[in-house]
Amino acid sequence: NVIPERARCAGTIRATTPEARTLLCEGVRALADGVAATHRLRAEVVLSEGTPPLVNTAQAAAWAQAAARAVLGDEALKVLATANMGGEDFAFYTERMEGCFLRVGTWSEGRDRSGVHTPRFDPHEDALFVAAAVLAEAAREKDVRRQLEERAAGLKDLEQTARGGATGAAPSTVGVGSE
């Protein structure tokens, strides 16, 4: 029996939230330290940040779902039951701004059903146009909802002003006429 002087373990840590990722990293360190201490050894744990968790906010998911329904109809929308545990570069965007990672089907009859990360991946080119249409509609949906929220906030300010409440906004006059 040969007992090596060193052992090395490598892998990735994937989580659905930044808090879960922190907890997992702490757990890996604690596990390595515990196993090493059991054998009177020393553990050295080096964890790189890698890709952050990909978090779709409920609001951004709503924009994307509304866009998919508007462009493709209700039957085309498939809400995924589980989180995407892939390491996606898109997560760097959603750390800085609200967004939603969505998938657009690329398979069609007569084509290989290989996964996207294989050399046999054979997407139908029309999927690019479908994806572009859904993304454009999602941007419009986001803008429409933002405008509605701004108008609702403005109406609330007007209502408070009409009742004599302070809003922090410039004073307004609201006239109500009758015939």
Give the tens place of pLDDT for each residue, 57-110. Answer: 888 888 889 999 999 999 998 888 887 777 788 899 888 888 888 888 888 888
Alpha-carbon gap, residue 85 to 114, rounded angstroms: 19
Whole-model pTM: value is: 0.67
Instruction: Give the model's pLDDT for residue 176.
Output: 39
Alpha-carbon gap, residue 39 to 35, rounded angstroms: 7
Alpha-carbon gap, residue 153 to 159, rounded angstroms: 10
CA distances to 44, 67, 84, 140 from 106, in Å: 44, 18, 18, 23
